[in-house]
Structure 1
């Protein structure tokens, strides 16, 4: 293991492995098939990247997430490690060139999606590579009982025939006992070494708090814990609205969602990563690849779909080992709403067929055609065209993606077409009178000489780089010029890119995959029921419930979750004593008392009522309590 440790120190700048990374890497280096269950933050990628660097040849990494593949490749390249990925809508020639690079270019890592293995010619090319290890990330996708089943994962077992002496390493961050058994069986792992890290996070406490005034409760939490925090919300609009509300209350906050451009995401992410803001308000698009050790609180304002997602998201808190909190703010209405939304957004076979036909019609794909055609795509526009519900349609398209029928990739691109409609001398005069736009317009005029004669597509990233400004500022300037009738402007915003992986066959396609849809819906229903039970159960320790879900049994209560704290409810005398001590300094209202003392609102209210009844305190004109 000396060489593995040297690799870790050289490329990852760590002096030691986390438990049980070292044992997993040792198993792989000994040539064993290995299964590793490492909950979020456990450092899964190091378990294949370090042995991949130690062994001669190239490591094949199979991952279902294009964004994660790109992120991993970028991180490796920053370490001067050669990595390549077969991602996006690549032609056969482009894929062939990339595989030639793997063969002759001394690359150490080749990433691809499981769907690529369904192409026989790619398998033939892989046979020619000096593969030293096959790593299967998100391995729970091989199980029909997993929360993200992808049939293409079932093809991975075939690689055993072609690489019988190469070790397989299956990695997952969340898997029940049943799913763990499925992974080992369906991947064909032989004499497998199994490593599991406990899901217990001793420094993390779980709190379900019922409150009608969520904003006030967030304010109290962030005031009491002024360290770095994440607030998860359901949709993009809520990220912006909640962020604005927190800023108005005096907190430094930013937001993050899947519809933002890469530049915007990176800008907002860095504000939070560098602690220039305390809070990032985000959808669940945020978090992949984020390893910020000093996150103190993760707050959910809506109910997650399942305990796997919930555990992964709250698991971003407390990675430095210090005390941290996972908090879900809810009401009975939220629970009823979540149940209704869940039922409304379950994708039936008929709805899936309808969406599949309409997405083909939307892009004018004829029956029997469409193979490897790709299109820019905005789901809101698509749904608006056919009067379809957005979330349910997105669920349908994501299911088609997991089945390999199509690939939907978040790109958040901005395509801009511009033509100047006033003479060039008038543009120069405008620049002289508005020097703030000079860098941007000068670059555009120099780069696109025919822009007065015809409408031309312009590259925002190139202009931003040359003018040393941001894409957001360029768009703002162009919109102002358009309003002043100086230019004609077409600004096309795309959330996604869609690639059709099969020819259009309508009923044949949907009938073939409908059995997987039925299994998925049953699995989703079971997991959602477990999530609601976790929230509503007020008698069992939250830590016990969560660990039990993942197949771990413990005897002792954690003593710090919301359920445990209610069990050892604070003596009212202690609350009364602290309230009186605070009111001796100055009059305070109930919210101020709750915020400063840290007791629950129920404890504060009960103590105040006791003091009022005994005529010890009274209420002034400002609705503040004071000692008589």
Structure 2
């Protein structure tokens, strides 16, 4: 048999495996069920891709992440490895064709979402495939104690009945002890070999920094560490705003969020990957599949939803082994804001039902219909139409997505409806006078025969291919035609795609999934409380806090986090600092940033002193954020 190292070298160009990749592969090749808990950047996909290539047959990979499935299939194809993915929105006929191709086309990897396993006819097709390994990626989704629980994952264990001799490999980057035990139980893993890499990242300094001026603090850090950085923000508007603010301060930045077109995502990613910009400002849509070794600093300017997500995002720093920083900036109102967003924004059963019914009505789906129908979707327009709160509605759609009722794919799309406004002979005359536009105009006319009679949805990339042009050239021609009154077109931007995975059954659907809602809400509350503990607890090393959260006990202080550094530094005499502040603000009101410069003390110490003086009512804060005597 071909050695694992030979496969690794041939297809991935590496000479050796990371720990515990080789050990997991050996267990899989021996036919044993295995569980791998490998923190972000550990190379989980290698653990099933290498043995999948070594063994006869097909490796089945179950994953909830459509973007990740597409990315892995594309990467395998680049290496001349045959792989395909059954993602949402593919018709039944096309799915049957793909599964037949899998059986007869010498494919090595089949990726599918767990919801596909709930379709009996899909399961029947899969039962006939020569599977050599069943890999469950993002395995924490099988646990009701996991941060992204999906009931459809519970169906995976039924594959055990049909493939008793095929090993299962469950993989996740983040799971507590409770989640780990639940995964093994729910997947019915047979006496699995458990491989668990420590969550410790000795080269990452976890910093929690309290500040009233986050932009100023970011400026300081990015000047001190001028290597590649990522700044994580909560929403798309903040991406643009923070990127723009940093540019005005002289930094080279770009941004990334789910609402960008594929072209913009690729361009912005390329700028950052090739070091043309220092800073990537992004939502949590950025990071999956990103393997950039020299990221020096990760900065979060708002509290994350849970420790699992924070650990994964922070873990994108320092993959080259050099010292790096994971910084969480926290302002005076951040804890209250986080509770408001994450806890008050949780939907109850009544809101869940209302949103589901309105969503069906919005797309005019009749009762008993709608399965596999797909629609472009703009969240803000939907919320505005029904006067729904955006954050709560977004959480509801995410819940419906995790339950498999809908697929809520946050991908930018642009829909153009086009109609020619003049007679065909006039169009021909225009073409004769403008021969450079002929190929593009004829491509529209040949592709969409009804384009004279009514507004027709058109695909710009298709027209570009047919006319041997770029999309920019097609858009330019359309704009000229519109200016001259030859065509009328409307462009609508959508920030998501919604696919209905089952027929509309209002009461039945909501009653079935709402039983999971309360438990998930309770879990979300627990998780945000842990995050709040992480930022407010000043009595434990930040690295130890994270390791304890994931069940690693008997750990020692890291020596480089914000807690450990604060213990090493000799603190300025608090009484002296308080007196100095009172003397300074007696002359004129002063901001906290000015006080840091004048007193030459640590910002943390100054904030503590100011808070103490405010509590004692010796000073007050003015509307312009400057301090003066009370």
Name the TM-score, length of structure 2 as normaliser. 0.87
Tell me what 2:613 maps to.
Answer: none
- Tell me the distance in 1 between the aligned counterparts of 2:474 and 2:338: 40
Task: For residue 481 of structure 1, report the CA deviation from its aligned partner.
Answer: 6.0
Task: For residue 480 of structure 1, report the CA deviation from its aligned partner.
Answer: 7.2
- Tell me the distance in 2 between the aligned counterparts of 1:181 and 1:391: 32
Task: For residue 563 of structure 1, report the CA deviation from its aligned partner.
Answer: 1.0
Task: For residue 462 of structure 1, report the CA deviation from its aligned partner.
Answer: 3.8
Tell me what 1:184 maps to.
Answer: 184
Tell me what 1:208 maps to.
Answer: 208
**Is the Cα–Cα contact under 8 Å of residues 209 and 604 in structure 2 kept in the other structure?**
no
- Tell me the distance in 1 between the aligned counterparts of 2:487 and 2:11: 50
- Superposition pairs for residues 228-307 of structure 1, below 5 Å? 228-307=228-307
- Tell me the distance in 1 between the aligned counterparts of 2:477 and 2:38: 48
Task: For residue 247 of structure 1, report the CA deviation from its aligned partner.
Answer: 1.1
Q: Structure 2: any 5+ residue segments left out of the alignment? A: 574-590, 609-630
Task: For residue 91 of structure 1, report the CA deviation from its aligned partner.
Answer: 2.5
Tell me what 1:614 maps to.
Answer: none
- Superposition pairs for residues 402-413 of structure 1, below 5 Å? 402-413=402-413
Task: For residue 540 of structure 1, report the CA deviation from its aligned partner.
Answer: 0.7
Task: For residue 536 of structure 1, report the CA deviation from its aligned partner.
Answer: 0.4
Q: Deviations over 1:364-400 (max 9, x none)?
A: 1122222222222222221121111122112111111
- Tell me the distance in 2 between the aligned counterparts of 1:551 and 1:480: 63
- Superposition pairs for residues 182-581 of structure 1, below 5 Å? 182-421=182-421, 424=427, 441-449=437-445, 453-454=452-453, 455-463=455-463, 471=471, 475=475, 478=478, 482=482, 485=485, 487-570=487-570
Tell me what 1:578 maps to.
Answer: none
SS in 2 for 1:61: strand
**Is the Cα–Cα contact under 8 Å of residues 342 and 524 in structure 2 kept in the other structure?**
no
Task: For residue 410 of structure 1, report the CA deviation from its aligned partner.
Answer: 2.9
- Tell me the distance in 1 between the aligned counterparts of 2:267 and 2:439: 23
- Tell me the distance in 1 between the aligned counterparts of 2:474 and 2:228: 31
Q: Deviations over 1:112-132 (max 9, x none)?
A: 111111122222211211100
- Tell me the distance in 2 between the aligned counterparts of 1:14 and 1:497: 38
The size of the alignment, in residue pairs, is 585
**Is the Cα–Cα contact under 8 Å of residues 431 and 438 in structure 2 kept in the other structure?**
no
**Is the Cα–Cα contact under 8 Å of residues 263 and 471 in structure 1 kept in the other structure?**
no
**Is the Cα–Cα contact under 8 Å of residues 60 and 135 in structure 2 kept in the other structure?**
yes
Task: For residue 466 of structure 1, report the CA deviation from its aligned partner.
Answer: 7.2
- Give the direction of change, closer, same or farther, for the CA distance of 1:379–1:307 in structure 2 (3 Å limit): same
Task: For residue 93 of structure 1, report the CA deviation from its aligned partner.
Answer: 1.9
RMSD: 2.9
Q: Deviations over 1:584-612 (max 9, x none)?
A: xxxxx9979989xx984357999xxxxxx
- Tell me the distance in 2 between the aligned counterparts of 1:100 and 1:62: 18
Tell me what 2:150 maps to.
Answer: 150
Q: Structure 1: any 5+ residue segments left out of the alignment? A: 433-437, 574-588, 607-628
Tell me what 1:601 maps to.
Answer: 603
Tell me what 2:174 maps to.
Answer: 174
Name the TM-score, length of structure 1 as normaliser. 0.87
**Is the Cα–Cα contact under 8 Å of residues 479 and 489 in structure 1 kept in the other structure?**
no
- Give the direction of change, closer, same or farther, for the CA distance of 1:469–1:553 in structure 2 (3 Å limit): farther
- Give the direction of change, closer, same or farther, for the CA distance of 1:569–1:483 in structure 2 (3 Å limit): farther
Task: For residue 478 of structure 1, report the CA deviation from its aligned partner.
Answer: 4.6
SS in 2 for 1:286: coil
Task: For residue 486 of structure 1, report the CA deviation from its aligned partner.
Answer: 5.5
Q: Deviations over 1:144-175 (max 9, x none)?
A: 11111111111111111110010000001110
**Is the Cα–Cα contact under 8 Å of residues 253 and 280 in structure 1 kept in the other structure?**
yes
- Give the direction of change, closer, same or farther, for the CA distance of 1:558–1:95 in structure 2 (3 Å limit): same
Whether 2:58 is the aligned partner of 1:58: answer: yes
Greater mean alpha carbon deviation, residues 453-462 or residues 417-426: 417-426
